[in-house]
Homo-oligomer: A and B are copies of this chain.
Amino acid sequence: MTDKVQTSALRARSVGPIATFDASSTPGYNGDKTSGTAELAVIGERLASLQEMLYAEGRSGGTRSVLLVLQGMDTAGKGGIVRHVGGLFDPQGLTVAGFGKPTDEELAHDFLWRIRNALPRPGRIGMFDRSHYEDVLPVRVHNVVPESVWRPRFEQINTFEKELTESGVTIVKCLLTVSKDEQRNRLAERLDRPDKYWKYDPNDIDERALWDDYLAAYQDVLDLTDTDAAPWHLIPADRKWFARLSVAQLLLDALESLDLAWPPATFDVEAEKARVASLD
Contacts and interface: CB of A to CB of B under 8 A. Distances in A.
Interface of A: 56, 59-60, 79, 82-83, 86-87, 89-92, 94, 96, 98, 127, 129, 180, 184, 187-188, 191, 194-195, 197-200, 202, 205, 208, 262-267, 269, 272-273, 275-277, 279-280
Contact of A91 (B96, B200, B202, B267): B96
Nearest to A58: B198
Nearest to A97: B92
B91 A191 contact: no
B91 A276 contact: no
A184 B82 CA distance: 38
Which 6 A-B pairs have CB atoms at the shortest separation, nearest pair first? A86-B91, A56-B198, A197-B265, A83-B90, A82-B92, A198-B263
Chain A's interface: helix, strand, loop or mixed, by majority? Answer: helix
8 contacts: A56-B199, A79-B92, A86-B92, A184-B276, A195-B262, A197-B264, A198-B263, A202-B275
A59 B200 CA distance: 11
A191 B270 CA distance: 9
A205 B263 contact: no
A132 to B, nearest CB: 19
Nearest to A87: B91
A91 B266 CA distance: 32
A127 B91 contact: yes
A267 B205 CA distance: 13
A279 B197 contact: no
Nearest to A180: B280
Contact of A205 (B197, B202, B264, B276): B276
